[in-house]
Amino acid sequence: MKTFPAIRAHMGRWTYYITKMSMTELAMHVKLSTGVYESRDISDALQRELNTSRAKGEILSYIQKHEDRFFNSLVIAAIGGEAEWFSVDVSQDEKFIMLKNDPSLKDFGILLFTGKEQYYALDGQHRLTAIKELLNPDSPEYRNAPDDFRNEEISVILVMPTIDEKGQETQERMAEFRQRFRRLFGHLNRYAKPMDNATNIIMDEDDVLAIITRRLLLESSIFAKTDDAVIGGINVDTTKGKNMKASSQYFTNIETFYDLNTTLISSKTRENLGWGSKNEKLKDYKRFRPEDNEIDELYNELVEIWSGMVKALPEISTQNPSNFRDHTAANEQSDSKKDTSFFWPIGQMVLARVVRELLDVIKADSVSEKLAYLSRLPWELTEFPWRNLILVQTANGEIDHTANASWKMRSEERTKALSAITNIMLQAVDFVVGSIDEKDCIDDIVKNYSTVAIPPNGSILNHDELRVDAELMLRKASE
């Protein structure tokens, strides 16, 4: 016999019971769906195949390393036995006299099981697998279980076949009942919407890159504060999504900003040797909050990098980013019109890659000195190598050299174009540091450009002109 204090509730066709179990009870009594039915036919399989690598990897590690560990309720099906429900009338207690006529009182009670029931995890099988692994004396992870973990408790939602007044299961056909369980499992997973990336970045207290991204916005004078987003500092949009409208008054959005910070802080040393004191891969390093002094070091490093970027490219901190997103600038040479690559997400990612390369290869005493080379590189979409590679003329069947030509950010083969422009900018850096000679560098730049560029309708790329453009680009970079 086993009793559970519980609250009874109803939704749709389901009557369910909200209770708790210790980790030991959970590990001992609750099975996976494969342990309840031997059949592996599609019609009888109540759950998806268990992803043991996730259960015994990420979730198990989470339990071991997080003192603030917490799981939401497991949904458990109870089948068989002779379960009985006993309401507990608390209104007889003087302390609860005000609840005497409350109809919800009948839903406080005790759920009694005979011990003949079979339990299985309808939702939460990965969490259950990790708990079983930690409490199994034959498991190598047994000794790594947190102290007294076996006595910790977890909330449980029990669902079962309808119980009549005598505590007996009705004659509901088991095939139909299993079908209801499958439908419930599908609903629990299909309609469980994960948090969007922007919310994850704002809320995550373990991912160090999310932590320092937020901290930059909250503490650094380089960035505008959310309550003062128009006065001083780089403006970052904290709503979800990565697209940037030309009219936006933000420099970037928080999802792109997170990606930029990830690239900026990913030094070759960290990529080769690992992150943090344990030299972990970045994916693993982001799962658990490091020590505060480690967070401070990464934050201060990023502040220094962004300071160097703003010093080299002061336009970044403009309070009118939309002034730098004008595609009509491609039709005329004018200081009043600008279309600058690093005010668009695609150009920002290229900028971050170039910044990281400069930090890794330029020999100088300070970050600002290393990043001073940024001002020598071409960043305008209207000039080589961005024009016709990232900024392309809208197809209209003929070449348009007039002030009425229409331009757009490239959508065709954008991944290839992004790779090409990134390689070209990095090749310019390699030339500056002397790791490639001028002729070879020009050859590589022309090849990268000409393979992916989309010249205006009907025109043909002139390789001699491209070589001249590449040479001028390298000369300016090495001044």
What are the per-10-residue average pLDDT scores of the chain (479 residues)? 88 89 91 57 46 76 90 85 78 71 80 80 86 92 92 92 51 62 72 80 91 92 62 79 92 96 97 94 91 95 96 92 90 80 96 96 94 95 94 68 75 93 95 91 95 83 93 91
Is the Cβ–Cβ distance between 98 and 180 less than 8 Å? no
3-state SS class at 275: strand
What local confidence, expressed as pLDDT, does residue 38 receive?
44
3-state helix, strand, coil in the chain (%, to 5): 50, 15, 35
Q: How far apart are CA 219 and CA 428, in angstroms?
A: 34
And the tokens for 18? 């909200």
Is the Cβ–Cβ distance between 431 and 443 less than 8 Å? no
What local confidence, expressed as pLDDT, does residue 167 receive?
44
3-state SS class at 386: coil
Q: How far apart are CA 344 and CA 322, in angstroms?
A: 10
Q: How is 120-175 classified by DSSP, letter by letter? A: EEEE-HHHHHHHHHHH-TTSTTGGGSPTTGGG-EEEEEEE-S-B-TTS-B----HH
Residue 177 corresponds to which amino acid?
F
* Residue 407: closest CA among 321, 331, 346, 340: 331
What local confidence, expressed as pLDDT, does residue 163 receive?
52
What local confidence, expressed as pLDDT, does residue 474 receive?
95
Cis amide leading into 385 (omega within 30): yes
**How would you classify the pairing of strands 84-87 and 2-11?**
unpaired
The separation between CA 295 and the C-alpha centre of its own chain, rounded to angstroms, equals: 19
Q: Count CB-CB contacts under 10 A for residue 10.
A: 9
What pTM was computed for the model?
0.78
Instruction: Find the length of the chain.
Output: 479
**Angle (deg, nearest 10), helices 208-219 and 254-265:** 110
Q: How far apart are CA 112 and CA 17, in angstroms?
A: 12
Residues 145-151: contacts with CB within 8 Å, 24+ apart? 145/63, 145/64, 146/63, 146/64, 146/67, 146/69, 149/23, 149/63, 150/22, 150/23, 150/24, 150/27, 151/22, 151/23, 151/24
Q: How far apart are CA 272 and CA 470, in angstroms?
A: 32
Domain ranges (residues) in the chain: 2-190, 197-477
Q: Which residues contact 458 (CB under 8 A, 6 or more apart)?
A: 397, 398, 399
